Structures are given as C-alpha cells and as structure tokens.
Amino acid sequence: MRIGELSARTGVSQRSLRYYEEHGLLHADRSANGWRVYREAAVPRVRKIAEMLGNGLTIEGVRELADCLDMQEPSECHDPDHALETYQARLAVVGARLAALQDDHNRLTGAIRALLE
C-alpha cells in the first residue's frame, strides 16, 4: 500500500510516517518510480508507534523498544524488564513536569488572588 493509504488506515499523517521511517521504526519498499510501498504488517506497527507516543514516550523511547512494536501484548516483548524501565523513566520525567506545572499553577493562582484583593 502507498503512504496515503497507510495514513488513512492508521490515522497517522504522512509526515509522521516519513518521520517514523527516518528514525528506523518503519520500513517501506520502493516502487519502480520511487514511491514508498508498505506491507500490510505496517498497519499494526504504525498504530503501536502512535499508541506509545500517545502514552508519553519520546521517539527515542519508542526506538529503544523497537523490538516490542510487532508484539500483540506488552508481555510478549523480548525484554519486558527493559520496556518497564523505559516507561518508568519516562513517567518520572512526566511526573517532574507535572509538579513544575502545578507550581506554576499555584503561583499564577496566587497572583490572580492578589490582584483581586
């Protein structure tokens, strides 16, 4: 299938699909005229990449877990301990960002209250 069809079937933009390919997460064969041609297995793989990114992993985190992309269940991953460590490390980063945002929120709330008094 060509990139437009893969995009339509997965809900992932063509630009993102090219980005995944640039980072070694997705492979396309080339037709005689140079167009990307994807195999059927690309559909669940792209959906998994999008899910992992949607869960807060970075593209680097997804690359670290590339061996897990074609598995049906997370427990089928070749190295579930590494996958767990990757998710936990990202969760710590997100938690720190969340705490910083909460601090910002509290300061802004205080500034608004002070202005209203």
Whole-structure pTM value: 0.77
Q: What tens digit of pLDDT does each residue of 83-102 get?
A: 889 889 999 999 999 999 99
Cα 92 versus chain centre, distance: 17
Give the Cα-Cα-Cα angle 14, 56, 62 (nearest 5 degrees).
Answer: 65
Q: What residue ranges define each of the domains in the chain, with the CATH number in brackets? A: 3-116 (1.10.1660.10)
Whether the per-residue pLDDT at 75 is higher than 90: the answer is no
Rounded to whole angstroms, how far apart are CA atoms 1 and 106? 51
> How far apart (Å, rounded) are the C-alpha atoms in residues 2 and 38?
6
pLDDT value of residue 24: 95
